[in-house]
Amino acid sequence: MSPALLELDDVRAGYGPTSVLHGVSLSVPEAGIVSLLGANGAGKTTTLRAITAGVRWTGDIRFGGRSLRRMSTEDVVRCGIAHVPEGRGILTELTVDENLRLGSHLRRDADVRKDYDLVFEYFPVLKERRRLSASTLSGGEQQMLAIARALLMRPRLMLLDEPSLGLAPMVVRSIFEIIRTINQARRVAVLLVEQNASLALDISSTAFVLEVGRVAVRGDSAQLKGDESVRRSYLGY
Amino acid sequence: MQELLQQIVSGLASGGIFASLALALVLIYNAMGLVNFAQGEMAMFATFIAFALIDHGFSYWIAFPITLVLAFAGGIAVQRIVIRPVERAPVLTLVIVTLGLATLFNGAAGFLFGYVPRSFPSPFSVSTVSIFGAYASYQDLGVIAVSGVVLLLIYLLLQRTTVGLTMRAAAHHPEASRLLGVRVSWMLALGWGLASAVGAVSGIMAAPALLLEPDMMQTVIIYAFAAAVLGGIESPLGAVVGGLIVGVTVNLAGAYLPFVGGDLQLAVALAIIVAVLVVKPNGLFGRPAVRRV
């Protein structure tokens, strides 16, 4: 296995007096796709939020060998982590184009223009709607915008929180197809939180299953998919 | 007809002053959902700085930009030192803090510069020029031009630059903006700096007519509130349009309604505030607040 890009080591976190994560350890290899599964309230979203400093945590989180302890959200993001949060984080007061520009606003390199072309190749609908307010987009288009914007940040790692939520199956399939393409073409690692376990196991190589704030199962995605007992006890399908 | 035109031009001149201060209010309201009651006093204090610079021999057009830069830095300092520690406090706490700031600036100006009204120079002559048969003073036209340029610059900054984009993003969606690497707290500080500089323009433009003293902006801020509320407190464009409408309305009411005269002009502004809040609480350009419950 290639060296870990992201490592969580015994991470505990919570909101005020309520603790949600009771010691989560997991890792994402360079350019790998890892899915994080589990029931509602198991701590999947909180795990992602801990990584980008949206919630206080203890333990250790390392990215590219460097500890993220005591870093602000802005600084973590600037290290090369793009987090597409629950609800997609679209700025609905702004246009589609302005949302995309917020993805690339920190970049000074010459490839920005190429990346825009690439993004519009993946999501032609965004090119058509560039000048429109992001609030006019459908749910699927907003998810595309969120992923496109994350791509423009040129991250080494993308955190995707339930990209399939509330979308039609066909839209979900095309979005997952593009996630796979981004991962392969750009060597962007992905940590994918999903309710739709079957879909997530298809795309990822490794999976972690959370149960009440702990990693209950970890393993090879294909194996987990075939494991009847794991499927029944944790994945609910 | 001629007189009407003249009244409208001079109304637009006061409107430019109200619009600048109203825009300052809107910039801060947008950034943190707070009406900065100290905006007028900060503008007055900046005007005293301009006065001191001119008094020390700087020419007007040198003192003007220096004052704006100092006001900008001062606004940032106020946000960092006074506002930031209470940033997450309930809005009422913040309101009280801005009221305290207002008192502080007012007292400091009185302490440093005294309470005697001083005449403030204007770079524009008071002589008049004929436009379509109506006479407008260069002073009024100059105020309109300066306010117009400043408002245009702010518009371009917010709409056409990356910094402006990140400021708007930080104001509307702080959490989502952080995830895009925007330094939200600094964007708020920048908003305070800009607001302070725009406010300073209104103070400097108002001073020749009002005479400079610590209470100079206390009526202007009421007009600016009226302008911001009329335009929709969240809309920079609304603040500008609102400012011009309030300026012209108040001026026309003073000239043509015998019972208003010079004494009740402020009441007209208050009437506008009440009427807008009753009839169209979101103002001309504001969006209705929609909340999911």
Q: Could you give the ipTM of this predicted complex? A: 0.93
Among B179, B182, B183, B185, which would you mutate to test the A interface (most chain A Cβ atoms within 10 Å of its Cβ)?
B179
A87 token code pair: 């609800």
pLDDT in tens, B104-150: 999 999 999 999 999 999 989 888 888 777 788 899 999 999 999 99
Q: What would the mean pLDDT of A38-49 be, rounded to a whole number?
A: 92
DSSP strand pairing (A214-220 vs A57-63): unpaired
Q: Name the pLDDT band for A2 (thresholds 50, 70, 90).
A: low
In order of their start, the domains of chain A are 4-235 (3.40.50.300)
Q: Within 13 A of B211's CA, how many CA atoms are on the CB side?
A: 6
**Is the model's pLDDT at A136 over the cut of 80?**
yes
Of A55, A74, A101, which to mutate for an interface test with B (greatest number of B Cβ within 10 Å)? A74
Task: Provide the percentage of residues in chain B whose pLDDT is more than 70.
Answer: 98
Q: How many other CB atoms are there within 10 angstroms of residue B56's CB atom?
A: 8
A105 vs B165, B176, B179: nearest CB: B165
Q: Which residue of B has its CA nearest to A80?
A: B181
State the pLDDT at residue A237. 64
SS3 (DSSP) at B235 = coil
Confidence class of residue B73 from pLDDT cuts 50, 70 and 90? very high
* Record: contact B179-A103, CB cut-off 8 A: no
Chain A residues near any Cβ of chain B (below 8 Å)? 52, 54, 72-74, 77-78, 83, 85, 89-91, 93-94, 98, 101-103, 105-106, 149, 153
Taking residues B243-264, what's their average pLDDT? Answer: 89
Cα gap B97→B38, rounded to integer Å: 9
Q: Is A74 within 8 Å of B182 when comparing Cβ atoms?
A: yes
HSE (side-chain half, CA atoms, 13 Å) at A196: 16
Residue B197 has pLDDT above 70, yes or no: yes
What pLDDT, on the 0 to 100 scale, is given for residue B128?
Answer: 86
Predicted local confidence at residue B289, as pLDDT: 62
CB pair distance less than 8 Å for A101 and B162: yes
* pLDDT tens per residue, range B152-189: 999 999 999 999 999 999 988 999 999 999 999 999 99
Which two structure tokens, joined as six digits, stand for A218?
A: 């970890």
Query: pLDDT above 70 covers what percent of chain A?
Result: 98
| pLDDT of A40 over the 90 cut | no
CB atoms within 10 A of CB B144: 23
Percent of chain A with pLDDT over 90: 82
Global confidence as pTM: 0.88
Evaluate if residue A181 carries a pLDDT over 60. Answer: yes
pLDDT-based confidence at B252, cuts 50/70/90? very high
> Is the model's pLDDT at A208 over the cut of 60?
yes
Q: Which residues contact A207 (CB under 8 A, 6 or more apart)?
A: A34, A35, A36, A37, A200, A201, A217, A218, A219, A220, A221, A224
- Tell me chain A's radius of gyration from C-alpha atoms: 17
Rounded to a whole number of angstroms, the distance from the CA of A237 to the nearest CA of chain B is 32
> Is residue B223 scored above 90 in pLDDT?
yes
* Nearest residue of B to residue A159, measured between CA atoms: B179
- Give the pLDDT score at A118: 93
**Average model confidence (pLDDT) across chain B:** 92
Burial class (CB in 10 A: 0-12, 13-18, 19+), B166: buried
Q: Of B173, B181, B183, which has the smallest distance from its Cβ to A91's Cβ?
A: B173
**Spatial separation of the C-alpha atoms in residues A168 and A182, rounded to whole Å:** 21
Distance (Å, rounded) from C-alpha A237 to C-alpha B226? 60
pLDDT of residue B291: 54
User: What span, in angstroms and rounded, lies between the C-alpha atoms of B269 and B225?
Assistant: 9
